[in-house]
Amino acid sequence: MRILLIEDKAEYLDTFITEIEKQYVVDVAYNTIEGSYLSSVNDYDVIVVDTGLPDVDPVSLCKDARSSKIESPILLLADKTNFEYKVESLEAGADALMYKPINVKELSAQVGALIRRSNKLSTQTIDVKNFKLDLCNKSVFYLGQPISLRRKEYDILEYLVVNINKTVSKEKLLEHVWSEGIYMESNTLEVHVRNLRLVLKRFYAEELIVTLRGYGYRIES
């Protein structure tokens, strides 16, 4: 297992590397130019980025990584805690955020969780009603035809399909798709589900996502 840490602060470097090197090989980049190069020539299980670096625009960094087909989970170490910043970073391609001050053991645990989730999804595809979800490449097909979804639409669909034949509460969906600790407008999830349904109905006339009022959403096999 190999981790890329983009960080220039010695206090984080020393303590984090001491902890994480018990389990993983760690490469360190001291700026985003070096980090971008290393991530382009190596396959990393997780990329950890301190958003406080002078040259870091986390949204652009995540977008550039995803547009370059870098699929490694990205964990941002952030100073800001506001809702808009977190949503923008996640929608740009980040997989998780942690807020400073960073607890090193929690950081190590978060890295491990991202690796486990990535490994679990890396070789899986799921088929339901002529739809195929490629969990590794985050893509959806209907009878072999690719379907273009926004990131949050895909995340909602994936979570419902992974929990097929189970009713998923709105709270669980919000927690999974937008992560914990974020305040969301009451209709945010409903808007994304409505948009997802509109896309799916171009390919499949029936209602794939069922609403159970007062309980949540469900997809039947």
The per-residue pLDDT for range 68-119, each reduced to its tens digit, is: 888 899 999 988 777 778 888 888 899 999 988 888 888 888 998 888 877 6
**Whole-number pLDDT of residue 181:** 45
**Cβ 72 vs Cβ 41: under 8 Å:** no
Q: What angle do CA 66, 136, 123 make, to 5 degrees?
A: 150
Condensed to tens digits (0 to 9), the pLDDT of residues 157-189 reads 998 998 888 898 888 888 778 754 455 666 888
Give me 32's structure tokens: 């985003």
The full set of domains in the chain, from first to last, is 2-121 (3.40.50.2300), 125-218 (1.10.10.10)
Q: Rounded to the nearest 10 degrees, what angle do helices 10-20 and 104-121 cross at?
A: 60
Q: Whole-angstrom Cα distance, residue 175 to residue 162? A: 15
Among left, alpha and beta (phi > 0; psi -120 to 50; other), residue 128 is beta
Beta bridge partners of 6: 29, 49
The answer, yes or no, to whether the previous bond of 54 is cis (omega within 30 of 0) is no
Give me 19's structure tokens: 């902890």
Percent of the chain with pLDDT over 70: 91
- List, in sequence order, the alpha helices (H) in the chain: 10-20, 32-41, 58-67, 83-92, 104-121, 151-162, 170-178, 188-201
- Report the predicted TM-score, pTM, of the whole model to 2 decimal places: 0.56
User: pLDDT grade, residue 10 (50/70/90)?
Assistant: low
Which is more confident, 125 or 95? 95
